[in-house]
Amino acid sequence: MTPTIQATPAVPAQKKWSWRSRAFRGLIYQALALVFIALALWYLGHNTLINMRERGIQSGFDFLTQTAGFDIGESLFPFDSRQPYWHAFLIGLSNTLRVALIGIVLATLIGTLVGVGRFSRNALVRGVCSAYVEIFRNIPILLQLLMWYLLFTEVLPAASEAWQVGSVFLSKGGISFPVPIWSSGHAWAAVGLLAGAVLAWLYRRRAFAHFEATGQLRSMVWLPLGLVVLGGLMGWLAGGAPSAMNSPMRGLFAIEKGGSLTPEFIAVLLGLTAYTAAFIAEVVRAGIQSVALGQSEAAAALGLSRQQEMKLVMLPQALRVIIPPLTNQYLNLTKNSSLAVAIGYPDVVSISNTALNQTGRAVECITIVMVIYLSTSLLTSWLMSRYNASAAIKER
């Protein structure tokens, strides 16, 4: 007798907007949570405004259009005391971003070299890298900023006795160096650099595709770098090859003319770079150690040198472990730049403190600083998450 097969009754499909739908309930709960948070923020803000009004404390962001009335000692863009407060905040933001961006690049380079150096077969190199990590990681960042600042302001000579190497001067006033006198030729050089960078990016894409298809590795660093330099040189020549320089000169009380980096900027940059690079080195070391030992043995079996093994096998696989904690270090460096106020560097916190003392708008000034740091942190996290997604190992 042939056995009968009973069909399993189909599960009735849940309606998309039914309360039995887990996704629909989750959406409702999230909407209620957002409404609750919005009401709480509104209540706190409303209550704060009432209390401030009762005590005769002015509030609002209208002060941003008023004349600042103070000068800023260091800025990328011209600023004078007749300009409004919002312009001063932009100058402070530019100073913060300048330190953060340069610090992130330098800390990444130094941290990667130190982290890789801890795997060196040379005992001296391993010892120096380990000592660097242990020293700079365990000294508070504020003390490091003060240490570098005192080094410039107390140890270095005065401007009249500045140390000179060629056209570069080093003194208590910072570092002074020659800068080009701007002309249209420099704009052409910038266009050439941009064109060279685009060509280098296209070349690297084709070289990587060729490597995946044939296993033959082409130059991934020197040739792209040569394309960028060649593009800039051709643009410079096309613009008339301008070579006029504004060179610094030793004055009676200061180094005059030329470009300069103040002791405050250098101290902040060195302190943040040295401190963060120590943590990045540990991140890189942990990422490399997370790669299976068999990968190193396979690279050795293929005849790869120690340098090729690290560049082509270990570091690419370690990236998926390195990038997430590396993002945290970038965020920490950006937020730690607020400590620059301790040595007088005019970042956004310093500008906010000055505006607060002059206007009394404490809530507003603190809110501006919070929004700036929140925005920079979210942008950094978003960029690193995109990079993490592109560096993740793709399954085939």
Computed from CA positions of residues 12, 13, 14, 17, in that sequence, does the dihedral angle turn out positive or negative?
negative
CA 177 from chain centre, in angstroms, equals: 25
What is the pLDDT averaged over residues 54-78? 82
pLDDT more than 70, % of the chain:
94
Residues 85-159+262-391: name the CATH superfamily. MetI-like (1.10.3720.10)
pLDDT(181) > 80: yes
Helices (H) and strands (E) in the chain, counts: 12, 8
What is the pLDDT averaged over residues 71-78? 84
- Cα–Cα distance list, 84 to 71, 330, 376 (Å): 11, 31, 23
Q: How many CB atoms lie within 10 A of CB 269?
A: 23
226-233 contacts, C-beta under 8 A, 24 or more apart = 227/196, 227/199, 227/200, 227/203, 228/193, 228/196, 228/197, 228/200, 229/196, 230/196, 231/192, 231/193, 231/194, 231/195, 231/196, 231/197, 231/199, 232/189, 232/190, 232/192, 232/193, 232/196, 233/189, 233/192
List pLDDT tens digits, range 208-265: 888 778 877 777 788 888 889 999 899 888 888 888 888 888 877 778 888 888 899 9
Contact by Cβ (8 Å): 261, 249: no
**Structure confidence at residue 110 (pLDDT):** 95
List pLDDT tens digits, range 253-296: 778 888 888 899 999 999 999 999 999 999 999 988 888 888 88
Q: Whole-number mean pLDDT of the chain?
A: 86
Which tokens belong to 62? 């209208």
Hey, is 126 helix, strand or coil? helix
| Domain residue extents for the chain | 85-159+262-391
What is the pLDDT averaged over residues 29-58? 84
For every residue of 372-389, DSSP letters joined together read HHHHHHHHHHHHHHHHHH
pLDDT(395) > 70: no
Q: How many CB atoms lie within 10 A of CB 128?
A: 15
List pLDDT tens digits, range 335-344: 999 999 998 8
List pLDDT tens digits, range 289-332: 888 888 888 888 888 777 778 877 888 888 888 999 999 999 99
pLDDT(126) > 80: yes
The whole-model pTM stands at: 0.81
